[in-house]
A = this chain, B = another copy of it.
Amino acid sequence: MARHTPQTHDEILAAAARRFAVTGYRGTSLQDIAREVGCSKATVLYHFAGKDALLAELLAQPLAVLRELDERLAPLGGAEARRVGAEGFVDLAVRFRREIALLRGEFPELLAQPTFAHVQAMSERLIAALTGHTGRLADRITALVLLAGISEACAEFADVAEDELRPALLAVARRALAPLDPVDND
């Protein structure tokens, strides 16, 4: 039953990603992951400090990219913040749609944990950027509809090719954000 190969670490990670994407983080037990890999639950916990460590490793790369977008957005304002924010987030969501899928709906609960507190702060700044920092409620509603909608669409259409998903999402974002700042062209 045992693989006796040092790549077990990666196999566990891949299996966890698959299971999380189907049944969610909470809905997936270490037993489930172990069964999919073909090893024991203890082996999973030998390679990873805990269930949360598994999730953290799976999310490390997309979170790093999100942080980069956050920093890129910091000095921007108005129409440019909106454009860069929208394009940056669509790109992020499309690239890491499998990782987004495995968070499916557990965003609120998981982000409430102190481990991911900075993520919540970043997403709030992203929403502010998408409004062009107007602070108007209607604009914030629009921005949230886009962020949540794009995330869910990426999770749902995980099997669709990037170059088919990305332009469609960009088009929706542009349409939804279009009238926010009429000065904007391009």
Which residues of A are interface residues toward B (Cβ below 8 A)? 23-24, 26-27, 104-109, 137-138, 141-142, 144-153, 156-157, 160, 164-165, 167-169, 171-172, 175-176, 178-179
Least distance between A93 CB and chain B CB atoms (Å): 11
Q: How far is the CA of A157 from the CA of B141 in the complex (A)?
A: 8
Are B145 and A165 within 8 A (Cβ)? Answer: no
Q: Give the interface centre of A138, A149, A164, A165 by most chain B CB atoms within 10 Å.
A: A149
Q: Residues of B contacting A104 with CB < 8 Å?
A: 105, 108
Q: Residues of B contacting A168 with CB < 8 Å?
A: 137-138, 141-142
Least distance between A60 CB and chain B CB atoms (Å): 22
Q: Give the interface centre of A23, A141, A153, A156 by most chain B CB atoms within 10 Å.
A: A141
